[in-house]
Amino acid sequence: MFVIRGGQPLAGTVSVSGAKNSALPIMAASLLAEGPTTLKGVPDLVDVDTLGHLLRALGSRVERLPSGDLTFEVQNTRANLADYELVRRMRASVCVLGPLLARRGAACVSLPGGCNIGDRPIDLHLKGLTALGATIRVERGYVIAEAKRLKGANIYLGGPFGSTVTGTANVMAAATLAEGRSTIEAAACEPEVVDLGNYLNAMGARITGLGTPFIQIEGVERLTGVTHTIIPDRIEAATLMIAAGISQGDIRIENVRLDHMTAVVEKLREIGLTIEPSGNCVRVRANSQLKSVDCTALPYPGIPTDVQAQMMALLTVVSGISIVTDKVFPDRFMHLPELVRLGASIRREGNCAIVNGRHHLSGACVMASDLRASAALVLAGLAAEGESVIRRIYHLDRGYDQLELKLNRLGADIRRESDEPKNMPASLILNVSDHAEDLSDPTHELRGPTWLKRLGINQRQD
């Protein structure tokens, strides 16, 4: 857990790590390569480690060099099982499906299961791979796909809430080794998809139209390993910019691609932040009087859904009424009640949150529900008066490379402590005699072992 003492304006210089959402599909696409691949700028994250374990299980050698670079080389092309125990830890693991099918002719990949931020089916992935000629069935929670060689096709990947980013990555990677030409219509335009396409082209693929909704792929016979540098993480950059605003700080951020985050920059300027670019760096300053705004998360080039929670945290301390809407994941508001615990005034109406901004938040104990919600709570903790405790920060470690250390270098006061329960506070100790009648009822939920388990006590069965 994090213990944060808020109220410190941030100041200094910080550097953005490589993009998690770019590194993961590129790591998966290394399964397509003959010979070694080296990736530079891969962030040191739990999700990266998880995918590394999966790639090893699929026959690749994966090594982190002293320089921080990651190297990959396929050594066994017979393995094609992506087991549930690995895939369940991270949805992006499904990106191995297309590369396995294209290079090895078969894949058995666990369905990723549920997600805290809303419904995220992979039906568009399967639709695209089926169009390329794969035979696909789902049995016992696994996608089983086969194809002697994929064949080029015209594929439409539009969904009810826009294009699918991981679906575009999966289908594009598979189509590189397909026979003939493939066209992906309604393809995702995100910079991370472009980065994957540039990596595949460097390996020998023939992909055009990257960054547009129409991508064309001419299939080739083989791809070879290359050295590639991951783009900067635009979500981390946005989070650090918002940290400057919410703390009334003045910071310089290095390794930033502002051309990847135009909508975020314009919205932060509308709120009142001063953003001054200089090459691949940017200075971000908060003015004394910030303004409320309406903010809508949309597919790229709009404001990313991955920044929605952080933007909401900022708007809780901006005077006036702001409306935050998410049109990508309409149910992505699990951070809302936790921000309320910190003193925010927010109410939800459908896929919108109405924020009545205040000048001050107050420290409290809160619980993170997902990766970006974790970041939003950290930001709110920076602005809150007193001490805040954020539990389940393991979510944060999935997508931010040592965020608390970067913020502490800017003047924040964040301590990482064990999340294990210590001695139970007296206020939480129940008096058994007060519940005697309840416990005598054999149907009552507090009776016997069930009651003890709810207190965290496990009984031995001798």
pLDDT of residue 430: 39
Dist CA 216 CA 152 (whole Å)? 10
Residue type present at position 339: L
Closest of 294, 312, 299, 247 to residue 273, by C-alpha? 247
Dist CA 156 CA 67 (whole Å)? 41
- Cis upstream peptide for 301 (omega within 30°): yes
Give the DSSP per-residue string, 212-269: SSEEEEE--S-EE--EEEPPB-HHHHHHHHHHHHHTT-EEEEES--GGG-HHHHHHHH
Active-site option among 108, 115, 281, 352: 115
Q: Which residues pair with 13 in a beta bridge?
A: 252
pLDDT of residue 85: 87
**Which residues, 6 or more positions from 375, have their beta carbon under 8 angstroms from its beta carbon?**
239, 309, 310, 396, 400, 403
Token pair, residue 52, equals 């590394």
H or E stretch covering 99: helix 97-104
Domains along the chain?
2-16+232-416 (3.65.10.10), 20-229 (3.65.10.10)
Closest of 360, 276, 348, 358 to residue 308, by C-alpha? 348
Digit-by-digit pLDDT tens for the chain (462 residues) are 999 999 999 999 999 999 999 999 999 999 999 999 999 999 999 999 999 999 999 999 999 999 999 999 999 999 999 999 888 888 888 999 999 999 999 999 998 854 443 445 789 999 999 999 999 999 998 999 999 999 999 999 998 877 899 999 999 999 999 999 999 999 999 999 999 999 999 999 999 999 999 999 999 999 999 999 999 999 999 999 999 999 999 999 999 999 999 999 999 999 999 999 999 999 999 987 899 999 999 999 999 999 999 999 999 999 999 999 999 989 999 999 999 999 999 999 999 999 999 878 999 999 999 999 999 999 999 999 999 999 999 999 999 999 999 999 999 999 999 876 554 444 433 333 333 333 334 333 333 344 334 334 344 343
Beta pairing class for 214-218 and 181-185 = antiparallel
Q: Which residues pair with 239 in a beta bridge?
A: none
Active site residue 108: no
Closest of 5, 77, 8, 4 to residue 250, by C-alpha? 8
331 touches 308 (CB < 8 A): no
User: At CB < 8 A and 24+ separation, what contacts does 126-129 make?
Assistant: 127/155, 127/157, 128/155, 128/157, 128/167, 128/170, 128/171, 128/174, 128/184, 129/97, 129/98, 129/101, 129/170, 129/171, 129/174
Dist CA 364 CA 344 (whole Å)? 11
156 touches 185 (CB < 8 A): yes
* 354-392 residue pLDDT tens: 999 987 899 999 999 999 999 999 999 999 999 999 999
Instruction: Return the number of other C-beta atoms located less than 10 Å from residue 347's C-beta.
Output: 11
Q: What share of the chain is helix, strand, coil (3-state, %, to 5)?
A: 35, 25, 40
pLDDT of residue 45: 95
363 touches 7 (CB < 8 A): no
pLDDT of residue 113: 54
346 touches 353 (CB < 8 A): yes
User: What are the helix and strand counts (H, E) for the chain?
Assistant: 16, 30
Q: 314: helix, coil or strand?
A: helix
Residue type present at position 420: E
* pTM: predicted TM-score of the whole model, two decimal places: 0.88
Instruction: Output phi, psi for 3, to 5 deg.
Output: -115, 120
pLDDT of residue 375: 97
Dist CA 317 CA 376 (whole Å)? 13
